Chains A and B, each alone.
Chain A
Amino acid sequence: MERIDASEARDHIEMINRILAESQQRLCAGGEYFVAWGVGSAYITVLFQLANNKIVSDSALWSVPVVLVLCALFSIYRGRATRAALARSSLVQREFFNVLWLTIGLAFVSNIAVYMIFSGIASAAIWSVAEAIVLLYIGMHGNRRAQIAGVLVVASLIAANFVSRDIAGYVLGAGMLAGYAGFGISELLARE
């Protein structure tokens, strides 16, 4: 029968702790999603603000559903392309994807089907809330960049509440770009 001494036991326990800590932090964020949805939501938010300020005509708003559908199609395409990788993902990664899809999905539905309640700046704010939830959830698992990005989005939400209605959309859009899309770019750079 094999024996083990205290020194080896300590070595084994340390290895287990290291493996468990690493597996919790390996949250596959998929930078492309964040860039696509960050840029898409910022575009829509800024466009609404421009239309509201009469800088562009209301006819330009027809591009909004097109951008939303493009973002959704991109997500579906990427989801299919990464299906094999997802089959190998950890439980915490799967949980992350569930949070991501539920949050972004609900924001999508709110914009498409609940536009009477979430109209104008409120619909943009819904996106910011959804994006902040996703980023802070990733941040909770030890991703410092996601924590910073999440705080940026929340800060843009709070700032938008206090600035003039003529620029609130720009503030929210800046938060989406710097926070959500910015986090996606940082993930892509980190992957390389």
Chain B
Amino acid sequence: MDELLLSKVRLGVVAELLSFDWIAFSELARSLDVSNGNLGAHLSKLVEAGYVDEEKSFVNRRPLTRYRLTKRGREAFAEHVSQLQSLLEAAN
């Protein structure tokens, strides 16, 4: 299994990004109901691993940091979910 996606928060981030083009940090924090500090640390790991792209910009003079799932992240997620399902099937 993908160790990076064993964390529930990181797995949640990738699942959130799956059906979005770009999603803002604040939107992710609200959707996943995690603190900014906690989310920031998890996102850094995903960015570092190349699973997620990060873009910093200004919208109406306010900073906007948004994230997008990369092809690598999408493939890792699909593989990880497949392994989770295999584990469940084996347990049943």
User: Is A55 part of the binding interface, using a Cβ–Cβ cutoff of 8 Å?
Assistant: no
- Nearest-CB residue, chain A, relative to B90: A6
The A-contacting residues of B in range 11-39, CB under 8 angstroms, are 11-12, 15-16, 18-24, 27, 31
User: Is B41 part of the binding interface, using a Cβ–Cβ cutoff of 8 Å?
Assistant: no
Q: Is the CB of A1 within 8 A of B3?
A: yes
Chain A residues lying within 8 Å of B31, measured Cβ to Cβ, are: 19, 22
Q: Is the CB of B15 within 8 A of A6?
A: no
Separation of A141 and B92 alpha carbons in the complex (Å) = 33
Contact bitstring B32-62, A, C-beta under 8 A = 1, else 0: 0000000000000000000000000001100
Separation of A10 and B86 alpha carbons in the complex (Å) = 11
Q: Is the CB of B8 within 8 A of A13?
A: no
Chain A residues lying within 8 Å of B23, measured Cβ to Cβ, are: 88, 90
Q: How far is the CB of A9 from chain B (nearest CB, A)?
A: 5
Q: Is the CB of B20 within 8 A of A90?
A: yes
Q: Is the CB of A15 within 8 A of B12?
A: yes
Chain A residues lying within 8 Å of B16, measured Cβ to Cβ, are: 19, 23
- Nearest-CB residue, chain A, relative to B91: A6
Measured CB to CB, the residues of B under 8 A from A are 1, 3, 6, 8, 11-12, 15-16, 18-24, 27, 31, 59-60, 64, 66, 81, 84-85, 87-88, 90-91
